[in-house]
Amino acid sequence: MVIRGEYDYVIVGGGSAGCAVAARLAASAPDASVLVIEAGPDGRGVTQIVDPPLWPRLLGSSLDWGYWYAPSPAVAGRAIAVPRGKVLGGSSAINAMQWYRGDPAGYDAWEAAGAAGWSYASLLPYFRRSEDWEGGASEHRGAGGPLRVTRSRRPHPIALAMVDGAAELGLPRLDDPNSGDTWGAALANLNVSRGRRFSVVDGYLPAWAPPAAPGQVPVGAWLPAPPPPPNLTVTTGSLALRLGFDRPGTDGSRCTSVVHLVHGAMLETRAAREVILALGAFGTPELLIRSGIGDPAALRRLGVPVVSALAGVGQNLQDHPFVAGVHFRASQRLGLPRAGAGGAIINWRSRAAPHPDLHAFVVQGTQAAPHEAIRDGLSTGDVFAISPALMGSRSTGSLSVCSVAQAGPRAVEIRSGLLTEQADVDALVEAVDFIADLAGTRAYADLIDKPLTPAAGPGRLSRAEKVAFVREHCSTLFHPCGTAAMGAGPDAVVDPSLSVYGVCGLRVADASVIPVIPACNIQAPVVAIAERAADLILSA
């Protein structure tokens, strides 16, 4: 493929947000040229991407960047693996396919944090525009949009029991958890179509997707792809190293190019109109810092000249902690895993929360949490987990660049901050107790042989033992965000039009701009941000 010297728009990162922004710009501005720079390969021919139950096998693979959260006393001194997709489609190509927006209040908090105009009501048109919900269009849902969203098919008995058990404990059954009302238990919405993953590549860049015959999960043999839009170029295997600026460090400094490594060759590709960063919550702050946008003291230590002094770059890292070790041995054969990370979810409130802030899902065997399960010898046999997560976490962490000589996981140190706030630990202790109650319901009576952790069994643990259990088994629900936050205060990195403060021609559109983590898996909000970013760029 020939990469020209200049494009109108250069999008760095071809993940959940990057693919959506690229497709919208290319379609809405047919006279403009659009380039996507993606470090990973295009993912065609990878069965583990396409076949929903196989997604855990992608973790730790060559399609995972392989980031780690640094060891922290708050999680019993452990380092925690935090996978990120390194492939066209980004994390949407390796994720668990849950499609959930969470409680509307989670977005109203963005506005309260200084992201003017980013309430739930203002994002709703973009949520709707992105969706092709099988239930059809409604006030809350979209149909005919790029991303296919379906209810879990043939939910596993352990998922059905979750909904029934929650009802026994007094929680409502939700017909649709994405209809604004989130308190209760529901069958999950999934980015799955005809038994296969439906990533952002399938939805927004179908020319680069692996098509399959209806009803088939393809294994290695692909049908011909549709032709790509003539004004859109996607370069894979292309690692962005830094941004180029006209008049760097002065008023009116403009981002004009991206320096990237393509199969051993260093290129500098110019952007006539804008550069849009969509490298995700780790890649975006790293590239900003490497390019001179960040805390001046940190830039000086790295020997990088200051282009824009923004102390907030890499700060405000947020993620959802979940407790990975609440395992049970089943009293019957469970069969093959189904429906991504299990087919059902529960949302409920901790004592201190005004809106649902706790969440649970079921997962089988190694899917419970691969690293934990393997360590604890639970990776085989008929075991499953009912995993509680805190969607209203308050703890924050940070990312810093240690070396500009490398890029990616080796170049950064990431302090997750997980469980550094006592309130988060308290909420998760409550959540583990709730799971133990859930496991004791009639719904699970024929499914559970015995709990494999004392925290979920009869006799339970003392408060101190529960706190230790939560800290020892805390993992990431894979939702890092907030590291180039949108807002108006001194720590904000982008303004509400997603433009980076202090420079022209540079925006961020990905999970990094989220100022306050919403109470959901964050693929849906990231796609909504990307949809809105395209409108903001086109109206500039």
**Could you give the residue numbers annotated as active site?**
479
d(CA 294, CA 458): 51
Span of 79-87, 209-217, 225-233, 346-354 interacting with ligand FAD by CB under 6 A: 79-87
275 lies in the site for ligand FAD, by CB under 6 A: no
Count of residues that interact with ligand FAD, criterion CB under 6 A:
42
Return all residues near 431 (Cβ < 8 A) that are at least 6 apart: 323, 350, 358, 360, 388, 389, 390
Q: For ligand FAD, which stretch binds (CB under 6 A), given 264-272, 342-350, 451-459, 520-528?
A: 520-528
Q: Does 92 participate in binding ligand FAD (rule CB under 6 A)?
A: yes
Beta bridge partners of 374: none
User: What tokens were used for 403?
Assistant: 């070396």
Helix (H) and strand (E) counts in the chain? 12, 26
85 binds ligand FAD (CB under 6 A): yes
Nearer of residues 321 and 440 to ligand FAD, judged by Cβ: 321
Residues β-bridged to residue 345: 186, 361
C-beta closer to ligand FAD: residue 318 or 429: 318
Q: Which amino acid is located at 478 in the chain?
A: F
Q: Is 83 an interacting residue with respect to ligand FAD (CB under 6 A)?
A: yes
Which one among 43, 52, 90, 505 touches ligand FAD, defined by CB under 6 A?
90
- Find the binder of ligand FAD among 22, 401, 443, 511 (CB under 6 A): 511
Work out which of 11, 17, 358, 516 binds ligand FAD, going by CB under 6 A: 17
In this structure, are residues 269 and 258 in contact, taking their beta carbons and an 8 Å threshold?
yes
33-62 residues in contact with ligand FAD (CB under 6 A) are: 37-40, 59
Question: Considering only residues 72, 95, 257, 416, which one is a binding residue for ligand FAD as defined by CB under 6 A?
Answer: 95
Task: Name the residue nearer to ligand FAD (CB basis): 91 or 420.
Answer: 91
Q: Is residue 362 at the binding interface for ligand FAD, with CB under 6 A as the rule?
A: no
Task: Among 279, 390, 412, 431, indicate the residue that binds ligand FAD (CB under 6 A).
Answer: 279
Residue nearest to ligand FAD (CB): 15
> With binding defined as CB under 6 A, does residue 240 bind ligand FAD?
yes
Task: Name the region of 112 (left: φ>0; alpha: ψ -120 to 50; beta: rest).
Answer: alpha
The 3-class secondary structure across 8-37, one letter per residue, is: EEEEECCCHHHHHHHHHHHHHCCCCCEEEE
Our finding on whether 151 is near ligand FAD (CB under 6 A) is no
DSSP 212: -
Q: Which of 9, 10, 11, 14 binds ligand FAD (CB under 6 A)?
A: 14
Contact flag: residue 16 with ligand FAD (CB under 6 A): yes
Which residues, including other chains, have CB under 8 Å from residue 136's CB and lie 6 or more apart? 143
CA distances from 325 to 365, 366, 389 (A): 11, 11, 12
Q: What are phi and psi of 233, to 5 degrees?
A: -120, 135
Q: Max alpha carbon distance in the chain (Å)? A: 70
CA distance 318 to 417: 8
For ligand FAD, the closer CB: 32 or 363: 363
Q: Residue 285 interacts with ligand FAD (CB under 6 A)? A: no
Q: Does 280 bind ligand FAD (CB under 6 A)?
A: yes
- The residue range among 96-104, 117-125, 324-332, 464-472 that interacts with ligand FAD, by the rule CB under 6 A, is 96-104
Chain length of the chain: 540
Q: Quick check: 236 binds ligand FAD (CB under 6 A)?
A: no
Determine contact, residues 232/34, Cβ cutoff 8 Å: yes
Segment lying near ligand FAD (by CB under 6 A), choices 83-91, 302-310, 326-334, 373-381: 83-91
Residue from 97, 255, 288, 299 binding ligand FAD (CB under 6 A): 97
Other C-beta atoms closer than 10 Å to the C-beta of 245 total 24
Q: Considering only CA atoms, give the Rg of the chain.
A: 22
Cα(346)–Cα(186) distance, rounded to whole angstroms? 6
Q: Is 91 in the site for ligand FAD (CB under 6 A)?
A: yes
Q: Which residues bind ligand FAD (CB under 6 A)?
A: 12-18, 37-40, 59, 83-86, 90-92, 94-98, 239-240, 278-280, 283, 287, 341, 407, 478-479, 510-511, 521-524, 526
